[in-house]
Amino acid sequence: MRILLVEDDAETADYVARGLEEAGHVVDRAADGQDGLFLATGGGHDVMVVDRMLPKLDGLSMVRAARAAGIATPVIFLTARAGVGDRVEGLDAGGDDYLAKPFAFAELLARINALARRPPLQQQVTVLRVGDLEMDLIRRTVIRAGRRIDLQPREFRLLEYLMRREGQVVTRTMLLEGVWDFHFDPKTSVVETHVSRLRVKVDKGFGRELIHTVRGAGYVIRADG
């Protein structure tokens, strides 16, 4: 197999690469997320092993960008961040497996082999739609009823999180973890403030609301009112 290893710790990268090569695999290496994304979009890899905490572009963002570009290569996150929320984030970002450091190389190799045996993923979605609202994940644009909506990066991420879960109630805690990467309650109104601003941009002047508050539960985006 041809494996892409994206790991900024040289000692860990050397250890993993040597073990994979001894097992008969070809290894391409990158030490930061930007180089990793460049190599990933070049195609030809059977599995990607990606650290979460990377310079220039973190592992989650790298995998999200790869998925948005239509790269369906299976991904295993290899990281010291081992909490339940961390694993959920990794899977939500497009990862297929998650292995915490420190790890046994034999387990990593077994997981890589298991991922390689999976059937190919279907074509990744690059455009999200809810009613007359459309988000292009590659061009990073949002259009509703033919009108372009300008969003700040955090607003774009918030809207993407909601649109990927169309019809599903998302809680404040889910948004703090999935959009802000907070694994604690900051005791501020950051979620409420950003949702309010997003609703003004997405819903005001369009005649029908898409983003709804579910009292006592959270928020949901849906086109059926």
- DSSP symbol at 120: P
Confidence at residue 225, expressed as pLDDT on a 0 to 100 scale:
62
DSSP string, 131-199: TTEEEETTTTEEEETTEEE---HHHHHHHHHHHTTTT--B-HHHHHHHHS--SS--SSSHHHHHHHHHH
Class of the domain covering 2-117: alpha beta
**Cis ω on the peptide bond leading into residue 55 (within 30° of 0)?**
no
- Could you give the CA distance from residue 56 to residue 104 in angstroms, rounded to a whole number? 28
Confidence at residue 102, expressed as pLDDT on a 0 to 100 scale:
85
Among residues 53, 104, 41, 98, the alpha carbon closest in space to that of 75 is found at 98
Confidence at residue 82, expressed as pLDDT on a 0 to 100 scale:
67
Confidence at residue 124, expressed as pLDDT on a 0 to 100 scale:
56
Confidence at residue 202, expressed as pLDDT on a 0 to 100 scale:
96
Domains 2-117 and 127-221 alike in fold? no
pTM above 0.85, yes or no: no
Grouping H, G, I as helix, E, B as strand and the rest as coil, residue 126 is coil
The 3-class secondary structure across 65-113, one letter per residue, is HHHHCCCCCCEEEEECCCCHHHHHHHHHCCCCEEEECCCCHHHHHHHHH
> Which CATH architecture describes the domain 127-221?
Orthogonal Bundle (1.10)
Domain ranges for the chain: 2-117, 127-221
Q: In tens digits, what is the pLDDT along the chain, a chain of 225 residues?
A: 899 999 999 999 999 999 999 999 999 999 999 999 999 988 789 999 999 889 999 999 999 999 888 888 899 998 877 667 777 888 888 888 988 888 889 999 999 988 887 765 455 568 899 999 999 988 889 999 999 999 999 999 999 999 999 999 999 999 998 899 887 788 889 999 999 999 999 999 998 999 999 998 999 999 886
